[in-house]
Structure 1
Amino acid sequence: MNYSRFYLLFIYLIFVFKNISAQSCPSTNSTWRPTMVTSNVVTSPSITTIQPQLDFLFGKSNLVFMGQYGYSANSISDGPTGVANSFTMNYDTWGPAMHWLVVKTPVPALKANQNYIFSYSFKLGQVLGSYNKIASVSINFFNPADITDPNGGSQYFTTPGHPAIYNKTVTTGSWSSSTTFVLNTITLTPTVDIGLSIMAIQITRTSQTGPSITTMFISNMKLSIASRTVPASPSNLISKDSELITIPKPPSSLDAQDLTTCPYLATDLVHWHDPTIWSGGLVPLPTTSSNIVIPAGKKVLISPCSINQTGIYQKITIPPTSELIFADANFTMNIQDIYVQGKFIMGTNKCRYNANINIIFNGAMTTVDTIAQYFGSKGIAVASGGFISVHGRQYHNTWTKLAFTAWSGDNVIYIQDDVNWVVGQQVVIATSVYEDEKYPENEVMTIAAIQGKVIQFTESLKYYHYGGQEYQAEVALLSRNIVFQGDSSSVSTSFGGHVLVSGEGQLAGIQLVRMGQRNIKGRYPLHFHLAKNVTKSYISDCSVVNSFYRCYTIHGTNNLTVTRNVAFDVTGHCYYLEDGVEMDNTISFNFASFVHTIGTPAAGFTQYGQDFTQSSSLAQPADVAAGGFYITNAWNSFIGNAASGGWAGFSFPNLNSPIGNSINVAIIPKQFTTKVFEGNTAHSSGYYFDFGSSIYVGGDLSTGSDGLLVYNSGRISRETYLNGVQSGGEIWMRFNNTKVFLSNRGIGMWGERVEVVLLESHDSIRPGSLFGEAWLSDAIVNGQTNSLLSKTTDYSRQGFQFYDTYVKTILTNIIFRNFIHNPLSTSPEDDNRVIISMTHSDEFKPQFISSTKNITIQGTTVSQYIGHRIIETGSSRQFNFVDYDGTISGRSVPTIFGAHDKWWQFDNTCTYNNDWNCWVCNKGSYEVASVSVEVPGFMDRSGEYDATSYVGYIYLFGNGITDSRRMNVTRNVGITGISDMGWYLYWSIGTPNYIKLWLSEVPYGHYVFFAIPYPASTTFRVSCEYKYNSQYSYNFTQAASAAAVRSGDGKKYYFNGTHLFVKVINFVLNGNEFFSRGGCKINDVYWEFIVHITATNTIKPPVNGYFTGLTDVLPSSTL
């Protein structure tokens, strides 16, 4: 007898008995089914009328001991043994009489004229004496920017430059006992509403600390919001989420169901627990080495009683001809790997499951492919040709928005949309602060009761969440009945489960918790992987929570729908298009929140940004700029999505070629424009990078010569063409019905062509920064809303900043609102102005590049309309724009705004505005023109010279002008002024014997009439040429007078013995060289039409190429 085989069988039978005898199924008959969960849900209790007291506890973990000196890392330590919620303050010898306890995190929002209680129990560590006697305790609420950052590592308390928002000081208290803790209570009644603030407790003694170390003990320090009655439902609930734009919403009806089609009702099923279907006649058991292969050609039904719900199954393989079908019944399955070549069914689109099904993925961190080659470990992988269908109960809407502002201490909220959420589920309420990582105020709450659009939570809210007309915090459902999650060991290694689909997949109603595998490519919570053109696949109404690596990934896959999903607390890019080849996908009605970068976030103070290279700790270097939606190819449809937080909400990096698995695909991803970008919103982002934004079209992602990915976060140009190819013709990226709020620069576009139509921007530093040929139209730009958290001077608000060179920006049909003077501002650029000039550079100077029409300004004093900074740069001196209908100037006629120099005072309609530092003139028939005056080797376009490298002046002359209306000229080329005028160019260093005039922007039908001084008897050779076509080359001839030159055809010159007169016209133009939108027009900068002036004088020859000693005389005013 083979005793070893008998022994193994005996052990196996014992294992079977231990694992399944207690829960064996009653039948293996193919007609038997477990009891399925019905769709009925428990009725919610009524909304209670009492709001409980809310306490904020303070202790060693969230306090920092600060002072001017006398502090250390040990200044706060644990409290006495056995005393809960206590800490010890340890004082060095001869320390200062005053120190601070500063709370690391923002405290709750407090309402004016409402009482709050600050309390603590106090005990001295030594008997009361002259060195440990407390004189006063002061409770202060500071603007976070006004004091030392309590999380910054320094314990030095900077004396605030501004007073506290609110202060309460007490000079009497129970501070003398050294034997027992004595309760102290302070009533706080703020005189103003307090939003984002840091609480600092100032403790002042009567003297220094003395020659001996002293201690003080504190327990149960807390700030309390008292219990109160829940107010009646407000009468002014938000019924429309936006004033101007339309944000689309998903269909209101639930997916149609036909329960007769439920997969568990099929008559050809066999049971997992039926031994006869398995090889050897034994039901598979959870072992660490088992590879369970579903029998070929079988449809296997798995029921709660079929499996051990605590043991861990190593691997299940579903062959191509097989199906694994789950019953709609409550159970848990622990598994490491599932490999689907056939079908994995847990509900269908016509039969959504109601059961609570929990799939837990187990396994240690590894890079070994235990599922199948290239498919990794610890998850589900669906092979090409395989199919997965998971459909949990549908909860709709999956996310909504507040209909009314929720304050700290509230336990009831009001939402905008109907939902079918249930008691016991968790939701997240998104932040209403700008810097969401620095001040994390997203809150996860549990539903205690729900009645229509009113929700009550089991606890009260800690923070303020805005729900005004301008914008509203999102409220998203996190819970689902079907849960896929990584095991508890996942947290320490950031190695959770993952779902990878290379075939077709239909995934709906799943919550994914602790999923994703940090820095392992292809291991994401939900991931369509190289599935190519799918025909019936989607990800719908799922949630990803606490993800270690991304949320929903589309990789090498087209025509996928990702809709109505939510994500919260995610590391790395969330909704992720991976290689740059993913097109024609629909990403709609999704929500992403609290998205974290991997490593230190990309920053920088220049447009260049920073460079990052792929490494083991940064597998995708663009994750230093992780955001809600990462879009490597714009030819996809983004409809009705929302992003809260992240480096950016929506990122469009530039890929010159695909990356990763698609590196050899012959397309240029960055050349594709947006297919559809409609009704998307983003907030609380863009703040890491000086040039960051909530919707960011910028950065560069490429593959280096060593095969590693390289990411640059900064300014990269982007050309977009129809069908992504240059031969298709130029096309504009288009953003429709967009909302940005609590943002740095709203929409940041480094590309060449963009249209932003129907935009709302609220509480943002700027609504956008748009490069290239850019049109912003039909917008509301609101500098200051009614949100309490946005009422801060931490950052300025700018309606729009015009760029300084080589762009074309048109603003039409815009309402600018609430740009309020900041009395602490040091420059117009930080004084909350509507239109801001860019003045930092002398090298880069504006041509005519900016125009506006139909601008309405509300809630703003006239002095705030324009913010122009006067400094010694060409960009400051040449700032200009055209107000095409006079709605900014108030003149009701086309108006030219020019900078501060009298150079811009071209006629008697011009007046100077001291608040704006600008000249304001009726436009009439004039245009703004620009000419680059070049002297080879001295003044070149390629040169970069100091801003004070003055070479002379440019004056207006003629047209009756007798006074000096001039502007400095430096070695940095480019002069911008008014067309059809006399421009007298005087060189203080002497007139060069050769001058090259590039007519960069002299519009069709217009001219510039130059006068340049030369010594008597000088002769000239004047000509023009076009670099790309010789037919426009002319030699100028001498006219009889200066007047004849001005009235002539632009091919003549005249010298009167003092001044050379030349009229310059760009002969190449035909009148079609402009960018126009909304009734505004900006002329093109036209390259390389040049006028050459060569001067010769044998009587008074030039010295080193310059005619010196010339008198600065303005030409005749009668010309």
Structure 2
Amino acid sequence: TSIEVLDASQWRAGDEIVLASTDFNPRQAERRTITSVRGNTIRFAQPLQYMHYGKVTYGVDERGEVAMLTRNIKVQASEDAAESYFGGHIMAMGGSKAYVDGVELNRMGQHLTLARYPMHFHILGVGAGMYIRNAAIHDTYNRCVTVHGTNDLRIENNVTYNTVGHCFFMEDGIETGNAFVRNLAIQTKCHPTLDCVPTNLAANGERVHYANPAAAREASFHSGNTLLPSDNTAASFWITNPDNSYIDNVAAGSDQVGFWFSIPQHPQGAFAGSEVAANIWPRRTALRAFKGNTAHSNFDGFLIDRHIEQDNTFGLASIPLLPLADPTDLESEVSETHFENLTSYKNRNGGLWGRGDLYVYSNAKFADNAIGMTQAAGDIGSLPFSSRLVDSLVVGETDNIGNPTTPEEVAYGRSLPKTMIPDFPIRGYEYYDYRDDVVNTTFVNFQDNDRRKTGALSFLLYTSAGLSTGSTIRGAKFVNAKPVYFPKYDARFDNDNRGGNAYRTLSIHDIDGSVTGIPNSQIMLNDGENDSVVTDASCEIHPTWNASVCTGDIGRLNLSDSRGELPAAVDLESRTARFALLSSLSPNAPDTPLVQAQRKALFSRRPPQAPIALVRNGKEFKISGDQSTVRAGTEIEVKTERPQVTLSLAEMDQGSWVIFKLPGFANAASGTEEGSMDALRQATETSWFRDGDALWVKLVAKGPVMPVIRPTDLQASITVSRELLGG
């Protein structure tokens, strides 16, 4: 019946407060009426139902927020609005001025009605000097603060509680120069009474429609129970243009997302199709400022992906936020995007999911999440890195045990991020698309136990796309933490397998040995089912990691005419083509010839092929998806019944080579024919030699196709067949 806060000097008996959840469940927020205040100790009559954590634990500030809901000035609808969801609204329209300070807004907003929000800055154009600050917005039915067609506002030190739909809402993507500073959003809901029907990357074991994505999309986008389709995946902070500032805000318990960058190609809504909108490119615009923000007790803490389309739907993958020197020129230079001092804890899925390139996350803190951080690439591996996590802290489990409720949680002694999958393997950092770097980062408390497995470093489960041998780590520290864990395939844990096998070729480059103790080593999958042909007696095997650690020049081997996981016909030679490829994944893609060609190439499928096995040092390695990691300077036998095989190398040093023996093959379509095995071994360019009933091939890697070596850039390639020339 009492709590201690940092400063209660302005609070009085009779005031109403709310305590934010500090657990995975956002609905553990609790409202109370103060009965007395003594110093910084607050008392109330009704005991709290939940534990609300109040400490900095393992360097992560998980002290729960306590917000004052009472203000001297109150604007509210009649009590029957709580039944009809038809509340009041304040709209500042063109030609007006709005200066709102210290006001309480209660039972405001009109559910499922456009332009009827608690506080609405509506197409004012320049809003410099105007503000809403120190307000309490609670028990509302349609958003919190909406900024629409208005620039340069200041939204500061406001608190929201028990609200519906995207809360702090940037409407059309044309809004710039606005500052959101020290705002606190508690308990953001998708609907007044119904559960969310989200579109997200939940694990299969917690998704109703996981076997039927089309049904899930239909249920989410066309339920009729939300104002916009995206409100079924409601965010406390909905960001549609990066040219705004978000500083020291807190998303403390959304049913779905804390902070969501969902950015249109051009401003839409009231500005759709206008001349001014055609010249504005929000996704190609630099981020003004995003620092000091905290997300906890959400499904996903920070989300920088799933960008909004013209019909207000979105896909699970989209053309990314990628700031360009000239937004009108898609081929112009890309600048870095910096996210500073983020804190993300007690999120049921991810602390952060991003999609883009040259994103730098510095001084971040992740704790008590199912997954700390995952980054997807935007430009398909064509830039020096997708993301870089720098000088950060990642904690698996802190002293905040939450409020154990389910039998599994009670037995475990703490709450779990995924109650439907209590053995879900928590992991700190997931490597994914192309090149991701981790620099000078500390990982704490990732240890296996009887409840679940864990590891500081892992991969996106069980991705069909994008992994590269170029992803790195250096300057890592591990405190009571198993450095690596690659979970064996379990359909319940999976959220990204689309029938592909890219995850089987994962590799992490440990530059300085801070993970493995072996500088310049590669960490690869070694789970007894998907062991790499690289692995031999010179490698270290870590059974609890499901990994091997090997040295040498390690790259990628393709065993088909593909470019990595992409079909050979896909065009990757310009950003225009690459973004058309990303567009082709969306059901709302523009119907241009380039998008059509990319879609046709991407979804072209070869007839089923006979399997391939690789044999090295007497051990046979199965190959799934026609891809493998490979080490320079090795000799490998290729066993298959296929009539024709294409062998290619990628991501290797110039001049590196691998020799292959192909029993039953007789002809090579390219390369230099050599007269002996000795001559083949001495060759400095791709060559072949026929020895009885076997064909021997030496692939020699040329220099990189681009300054960045992509998995899709083939440095050496040869097609071999069983028939002799002319036969």
TM-score, length-scaled by structure 2 = 0.79
Partner residue of 1:973 out of 621, 626, 639 = 626
Superposition deviation, residue 727 in structure 1: 5.1
Correspondence 1:853 to 2:480: no
SS of 1:834's partner is strand
Match of 1:712 in 2: 314
**CA distance in 1: counterparts of 2:283 and 2:188, whole angstroms:** 24
SS of 2:82's partner is helix
Match of 2:646 in 1: 996
**CA distance in 2: counterparts of 1:1098 and 1:821, whole angstroms:** 56
Superposition deviation, residue 551 in structure 1: 0.8
**CA distance in 2: counterparts of 1:430 and 1:1091, whole angstroms:** 58
Match of 1:911 in 2: 540
Superposition deviation, residue 585 in structure 1: 0.9
Match of 2:366 in 1: 761
Letter of the aligned partner of 1:629 in structure 2? F
Partner residue of 2:105 out of 486, 491, 512 = 512
SS of 2:341's partner is strand
Correspondence 1:953 to 2:613: yes
Query: Any conservation in 2 of the 1:902–1:966 contact (CA below 8 Å)?
Result: no
Letter of the aligned partner of 1:716 in structure 2? S
**CA distance in 2: counterparts of 1:788 and 1:839, whole angstroms:** 26
Please tell me whether Structure 1 or Structure 2 has the larger radius of gyration of its CA atoms: 1
Query: Any conservation in 1 of the 2:133–2:156 contact (CA below 8 Å)?
Result: yes
Correspondence 1:1062 to 2:697: yes
**CA distance in 1: counterparts of 2:315 and 2:668, whole angstroms:** 51
Query: Any conservation in 2 of the 1:811–1:851 contact (CA below 8 Å)?
Result: yes
**CA distance in 2: counterparts of 1:510 and 1:1099, whole angstroms:** 85
1:434/1:1068 CA distance change after superposition, 3 Å: same
Letter of the aligned partner of 2:622 in structure 1? N
Match of 1:24 in 2: none
Q: How does 1:200-211 map to 2 (within 5 A)?
A: none
**CA distance in 2: counterparts of 1:553 and 1:581, whole angstroms:** 13
1:616/1:1039 CA distance change after superposition, 3 Å: closer
1:592/1:630 CA distance change after superposition, 3 Å: same
Correspondence 1:635 to 2:243: yes
1:447/1:952 CA distance change after superposition, 3 Å: same
Partner residue of 2:77 out of 486, 502, 506 = 486
Q: Deviations 1:584-604 (Å, cap 9, x if unpaired)?
A: 111010000111103542336
**CA distance in 2: counterparts of 1:873 and 1:1066, whole angstroms:** 26
**CA distance in 2: counterparts of 1:966 and 1:944, whole angstroms:** 30
**CA distance in 2: counterparts of 1:588 and 1:670, whole angstroms:** 23
Query: Any conservation in 1 of the 2:367–2:396 contact (CA below 8 Å)?
Result: yes
**CA distance in 1: counterparts of 2:450 and 2:15, whole angstroms:** 48
1:636/1:1021 CA distance change after superposition, 3 Å: same
Query: Any conservation in 2 of the 1:845–1:878 contact (CA below 8 Å)?
Result: no
Q: How does 1:238-277 map to 2 (within 5 A)?
A: none
**CA distance in 2: counterparts of 1:623 and 1:781, whole angstroms:** 30
Match of 1:731 in 2: 335
Letter of the aligned partner of 1:649 in structure 2? G
Query: Any conservation in 1 of the 2:430–2:459 contact (CA below 8 Å)?
Result: yes
Partner residue of 2:400 out of 787, 795, 812 = 787
**CA distance in 2: counterparts of 1:894 and 1:1040, whole angstroms:** 37
Q: Deviations 1:969-1026 (Å, cap 9, x if unpaired)?
A: 24x3322222343343222x1552xx43444x2334243323242559x45441xxxx
**CA distance in 1: counterparts of 2:375 and 2:603, whole angstroms:** 26
Query: Any conservation in 2 of the 1:625–1:713 contact (CA below 8 Å)?
Result: no
Query: Any conservation in 2 of the 1:1053–1:1062 contact (CA below 8 Å)?
Result: yes
Query: Any conservation in 2 of the 1:504–1:536 contact (CA below 8 Å)?
Result: no
**CA distance in 2: counterparts of 1:423 and 1:907, whole angstroms:** 72
Letter of the aligned partner of 1:1056 in structure 2? D
Match of 1:499 in 2: 90
1:877/1:496 CA distance change after superposition, 3 Å: closer
Letter of the aligned partner of 1:735 in structure 2? F
Superposition deviation, residue 853 in structure 1: 1.6
Match of 1:406 in 2: none
Match of 1:702 in 2: 309
Query: Any conservation in 2 of the 1:697–1:749 contact (CA below 8 Å)?
Result: yes
Query: Any conservation in 1 of the 2:366–2:395 contact (CA below 8 Å)?
Result: yes
Match of 1:811 in 2: 438
Superposition deviation, residue 1084 in structure 1: 2.3
Q: Deviations 1:126-152 (Å, cap 9, x if unpaired)?
A: xxxxxxxxxxxxxxxxxxxxxxxxxxx
Query: Any conservation in 2 of the 1:515–1:525 contact (CA below 8 Å)?
Result: yes
Letter of the aligned partner of 2:305 in structure 1? G
Letter of the aligned partner of 2:449 in structure 1? N
SS of 1:715's partner is coil
Correspondence 1:454 to 2:41: yes
**CA distance in 1: counterparts of 2:372 and 2:698, whole angstroms:** 41
Match of 2:197 in 1: 602
Match of 2:344 in 1: 740
Correspondence 1:591 to 2:184: yes
SS of 1:623's partner is helix
Partner residue of 2:288 out of 656, 675, 682 = 675
Superposition deviation, residue 1065 in structure 1: 4.1
Q: List alignment gaps of at least 5 residues for structure 2.
A: 200-206, 378-385, 404-413, 491-498, 569-601
Match of 1:1008 in 2: 657
**CA distance in 2: counterparts of 1:673 and 1:713, whole angstroms:** 22
**CA distance in 2: counterparts of 1:775 and 1:978, whole angstroms:** 26
Superposition deviation, residue 632 in structure 1: 1.2
Superposition deviation, residue 441 in structure 1: 2.2
**CA distance in 1: counterparts of 2:608 and 2:679, whole angstroms:** 37
Match of 1:365 in 2: none
Letter of the aligned partner of 1:910 in structure 2? C
SS of 2:652's partner is coil
Query: Any conservation in 1 of the 2:132–2:154 contact (CA below 8 Å)?
Result: yes
1:640/1:955 CA distance change after superposition, 3 Å: same
Match of 2:571 in 1: none
SS of 1:711's partner is coil
SS of 1:624's partner is helix
Q: Deviations 1:800-833 (Å, cap 9, x if unpaired)?
A: 45456x42222222222122323144xxxxx123
**CA distance in 1: counterparts of 2:503 and 2:713, whole angstroms:** 24
**CA distance in 2: counterparts of 1:488 and 1:845, whole angstroms:** 54
Query: Any conservation in 2 of the 1:628–1:648 contact (CA below 8 Å)?
Result: yes
Superposition deviation, residue 486 in structure 1: 1.3
Q: How does 1:326-405 map to 2 (within 5 A)?
A: none
Superposition deviation, residue 885 in structure 1: 1.8
1:928/1:1099 CA distance change after superposition, 3 Å: closer
Match of 1:929 in 2: 556
Q: Deviations 1:493-517 (Å, cap 9, x if unpaired)?
A: 2121111113332211111111111
Query: Any conservation in 2 of the 1:899–1:917 contact (CA below 8 Å)?
Result: yes
**CA distance in 1: counterparts of 2:722 and 2:535, whole angstroms:** 33
CA RMSD of aligned residues (A): 3.3
Correspondence 1:895 to 2:521: yes
Q: Deviations 1:99-145 (Å, cap 9, x if unpaired)?
A: xxxxxxxxxxxxxxxxxxxxxxxxxxxxxxxxxxxxxxxxxxxxxxx
Superposition deviation, residue 766 in structure 1: 0.8
SS of 1:685's partner is coil
Superposition deviation, residue 877 in structure 1: 4.3
1:710/1:614 CA distance change after superposition, 3 Å: farther
Q: Deviations 1:506-541 (Å, cap 9, x if unpaired)?
A: 211111111111122111111111011222111111
Superposition deviation, residue 451 in structure 1: 4.2
Query: Any conservation in 2 of the 1:1004–1:1071 contact (CA below 8 Å)?
Result: no
1:558/1:763 CA distance change after superposition, 3 Å: same
Query: Any conservation in 2 of the 1:982–1:1008 contact (CA below 8 Å)?
Result: no
How many correspondences in the alignment?
629
SS of 1:898's partner is strand
Query: Any conservation in 2 of the 1:745–1:768 contact (CA below 8 Å)?
Result: yes
Match of 1:869 in 2: 488
Correspondence 1:554 to 2:147: yes
